[in-house]
Chains A and B, each alone.
Chain A
């Protein structure tokens, strides 16, 4: 047993909850990618099941987030750190919601994805998953080793930029290709934007992590 845990029980408990939250976030990213890919491969049922499971994890994640917030408010962390953490958690909370919204829209709209979009979309999903994983690593470093935060944040930025590039190319082909009707163009644009929004949010949160790390190490 770590002897320091006797002195810092409250801090260790909050850290453990944040670790669980990050694991849930990574699980969501994996589930999102798998469900989305199933749909691209033609299995609507797997998408539906993935969406249900994603909902369950999101609920657990919400509960855990609330528990952390309550701990922060009641366990009398220093006001400065507490306010920073609450601000960060509020930002972080938007990432799982974006997974849920994106997948729910697919379930609801069942969009017809053009054949030549499948591979780039799968690439986007891989980069999205990697961006969220890097975000989880950056957040983990915020609570374990501030020196490692920057490299993970930069990784989030790299993945986001890859997603942006693919998204832009796909949007270009959507609006340049005459075979799509206007309604379909906007439907595909919505789907692509939803998918791109996940990494945009991940980048926003990663920036917040970097701000906190810089603030607390200077």
Chain B
């Protein structure tokens, strides 16, 4: 039975989802609805359906990057992170400043990390920060290319005026549906990403072969919240955006929506990542990016193609200002909010975790290529926070940002007990017979660190081996890690 307080804590995520739906649906259908090319009801229905689909089907990729930045480990903390982000979005919108949900939630996570003295993976943070520049730039480039090609195509085809009107309308609806799908897939991580590590729903099994994971349930709920936002409040925003973009021709409007959608899709698609990895090409990071920045980038791209005279540079300026202000405000709000939630409302905003540098952990560090000379001094030491353990290790040896993340992962104490009962209860979908056989051989074993179970499984069956090194193995490894994370959750002993 689901604890009702969980719903209260989830409400902030739903609020964030609602405000995202109310604001960002305008980036997808604003031009079409604002200029009355598409009826609001049609747009809202299409947008609602495709946002939920995108969130449910393809929402996982971007959420994982957020998880790396900071895994908020108590639902009270997730509540405050989402609330701080939601309030920042709301206030910034009220002040008329361009706002990005992505940036607000990143600020909140950093706020939680600072409050809980958790380690912030700088490489993941930089990866996310870089997309704040790459996203509008990429959108501008795609828009410029697409607009040039579309113009040539239209000229060559010579489609009649009325028929062109009809085709454009249909193209806008299709682009809107694609945009809504991409918005759901990419931005659901902003709405529900912070709740994933503390996912309150149990996995659901429907007969043989169909199950919904707790994360998917969260994404579905978040997607529905976005859809409610679209239905209840986006009309006004759509009308405003539509009128603002009236200087765009219908073709340019279509190009803007398509470019925005392509960019959001690129930053959310695991399949594309797989394709690029298989071709040994550099992959695009799966990161939640700002829908507003993507659409503004696209409009700038089209404007630059036409000489750049019509671009409203003061607006570009205010967007850049928003990029800096939003995460800072959200970070501060989250930090202060967590303080009040913990000390005034007596809520748990972080779960106590211990990080132990035992001999086996140090040995694991060595295997993973982390320098260990001098670490023996810390043998047996237990630390209360992830940031502290990284600091202490850094005092002894040099450590890259990624190695810092490994130190946190390997030193985290997690008591696991593999029982026959729990093995029987597992959702076996996705687990091969070799993997299951290896698991059953470990029946009755206990572990103090999660990685020990992973290593034990890998020693029995090659199908549990994380290959590492190189793009081609990236997705294979991710699959193994997801399965291992599922096992860790299931075999973890309940704290008394």
Are A and B bound to each other?
A: yes
Contacts A78-B35, A78-B37, A146-B160; is A11 near B165 (CB within 8 Å)? yes
Residue A91 is within 8 A (CB to CB) of chain B in the complex: no
The distance from the CB of A13 to the nearest CB of chain B, in whole angstroms, is 10
Contacts of B249 in A (CB 8 A): 80
> Do A145 and B155 touch across chains, with their CB atoms under 8 A apart?
no
Residue B354 is within 8 A (CB to CB) of chain A in the complex: no
Contacts of B167 in A (CB 8 A): 8
> Do B161 and A216 touch across chains, with their CB atoms under 8 A apart?
yes
Contacts A15-B160, A145-B160, A146-B160; is A78 near B165 (CB within 8 Å)? yes
Interface residues of A in 139-165 (CB under 8 A from B): 141-148
Chain A interface, >50% SS class:
helix
Interface residues of A in 1-35 (CB under 8 A from B): 7-8, 10-11, 14-15, 18
Contacts of A217 in B (CB 8 A): 154-155, 158
> Do A146 and B159 touch across chains, with their CB atoms under 8 A apart?
yes
Interface size class of B (residues with CB under 8 A): 20 to 34
Residue B422 is within 8 A (CB to CB) of chain A in the complex: no
Contacts A78-B37, A78-B250; is A8 near B158 (CB within 8 Å)? no
> Do A212 and B35 touch across chains, with their CB atoms under 8 A apart?
no
Interface residues of A in 26-76 (CB under 8 A from B): 76
Interface string of A66-107 (1 = CB under 8 A from B): 000000000011111100110000000000000000000000
> Do B35 and A148 touch across chains, with their CB atoms under 8 A apart?
no
> Do A15 and B36 touch across chains, with their CB atoms under 8 A apart?
no
- Chain A interface, number of residues (Cβ within 8 angstroms): 28
> Do A78 and B169 touch across chains, with their CB atoms under 8 A apart?
yes
Contacts of A14 in B (CB 8 A): 162
> Do B164 and A216 touch across chains, with their CB atoms under 8 A apart?
yes
Alpha-carbon distance between A216 and B233 when the two chains are bound, in angstroms: 34
Contacts of A7 in B (CB 8 A): 166, 170
Interface residues of A in 200-218 (CB under 8 A from B): 212-213, 216-218
Contacts of B166 in A (CB 8 A): 7-8, 10-11
Contacts of B162 in A (CB 8 A): 11, 14-15, 18, 77, 81, 85, 143
> Do A11 and B163 touch across chains, with their CB atoms under 8 A apart?
yes
Residue B392 is within 8 A (CB to CB) of chain A in the complex: no
- CB within 8 Å of A: which residues of B? 35-37, 39, 151, 154-155, 158-170, 249-250
Sample (16) of A-B pairs whose CB atoms are under 8 Å apart = A7-B170, A11-B165, A11-B166, A15-B160, A76-B36, A78-B169, A78-B250, A81-B161, A84-B161, A85-B161, A143-B160, A143-B161, A144-B163, A147-B158, A148-B158, A218-B151
Known contacts A15-B160, A146-B158, A217-B154, then 15 further A-B pairs from the complex at CB < 8 Å, ordered by chain A residue: A7-B170, A8-B163, A8-B167, A11-B163, A14-B162, A18-B162, A76-B39, A77-B162, A78-B165, A78-B250, A81-B250, A85-B161, A146-B160, A217-B158, A218-B155
